[in-house]
Amino acid sequence: MIALATAFTLIAAASEPARAELCLAHINTMIAEEANATGRVAGPSWFIRDWWSARLPEEGSAEALSTEQRTQLELSMPERKAADPDAYRAELQSCVREAIDGGALP
């Protein structure tokens, strides 16, 4: 029974994108939403985006997404937000906080 539970955990984990991929999608979506709503985006957003971009898995590695997969992940963000707004907001805030704590802002 434990082996079966471990196998399901590994399968579920494999379907989740790398943290940097997920956070970059969140930040890109946040930037796009802000640009659409106000026509402006606060400067720190760009630093946070660049910080996560620098942490993407090495291209061609098993964890890296292809350009198409990255686009699909970004396009899925509104759906993720609609499905569970609280979890979406917590995930976004976690990504922003991690970048800031990691030195993303000059």
Average pLDDT, the chain: 87
pLDDT tens digits, one per residue of 15-57: 678 999 999 999 999 999 999 999 999 999 999 999 999 999 9
| pLDDT for res 41 | 94
Report the distance separating Cα 80 and Cα 36, nearest Å: 19
> What is the percent of the chain with per-residue pLDDT over 70, rounded to a whole number?
86
Q: For position 74, what pLDDT does the model report?
A: 96
- The confidence band for 6, taking pLDDT boundaries of 50, 70 and 90, is very low
Q: Which residue intervals of 16-101 are DSSP H helices? A: 19-38, 43-53, 67-83, 85-101
Amino acid 78 reads: P
Query: What pLDDT shows up at residue 104?
Result: 97
